[in-house]
Structure 1
Amino acid sequence: MTDAPHNDAEVLALAALAATLTDARRAERFLSLTGLSPDGIRSRLGDRALLAACIAFLEGHEPDLVAVAGDIGASPEDLLRARAELE
């Protein structure tokens, strides 16, 4: 099971992406800054670069990073480690 850490990072990043997109203000900012559309995101859900970019987006505004981490039952440090694994 050598892929387990990567899978964990992907699962955590997917949860962070879902939490990001369920908050209207955060979702609007994410879509605006990335230029992605909802369809574009759906088509790239397995893309490690997209998942890492979502966490990087959250890092850009610490209150969002902390809020999303709390929403998904993780620590901000967990998210940062996941991003590093995904990059």
Structure 2
Amino acid sequence: MRPQETNEDATALALRALVWTLGEPDRAQRLLDTTGLFPDDLRARAGEPAVLGAVIGFLCNHEPDLLACAADLGVKPETLAAAGDML
């Protein structure tokens, strides 16, 4: 992310990445399995920096997902990763 971008921008990008991740049932299940979150927890805590950071971390740990998500969101993969660092 560029230096002038804020945590608000990182949060918004991470929320978009979360929506993208949940858009495919198998990937959504992998997210839940990897993070240990339950669907109700995810719904209740979706805006929390720790949860959003975990989503970005999940994507960064599986490069095909990171690349696909970044492409679909119209950002560079490193921008997505940097959003996770900001959270």
Same fold, TM-score > 0.5, yes or no: yes
Structure 1 runs not aligned, ≥5 long: none
Aligned 1:12-51 pairs, distance under 5 A: 12-51=13-52
Q: Which whole-Å deviations, capped at 9, do the CAs of 1:24-69 have from their partners, x for residues lacking one?
A: 1211111111121221111102210110110001111100000111
* Structure 2, unpaired ranges of 5+: none
CA RMSD of aligned residues (A): 1.1
Q: Which residue of 2 aligns with 1:76?
A: 77
Moved more, 48-57 or 38-47: 38-47
What is the CA–CA distance in structure 2 between the aligned matches of 1:81 and 1:60, rounded to whole Å? 14
- Greater than 4 Å deviation, 4+ residue runs: none
Aligned to 1:57: 58
The 1-side partners of 2:54 and 2:83 are apart by 11
TM-score, length-scaled by structure 2: 0.89
The sequence identity of aligned pairs, in percent, is 49
Measure, in 1, the Cα distance between the counterparts of 2:77 and 2:62.
Answer: 12
> What TM-score does the superposition give when structure 1 sets the normalisation length?
0.89
Q: Distance in 2 between matches of 1:33 and 1:81?
A: 21
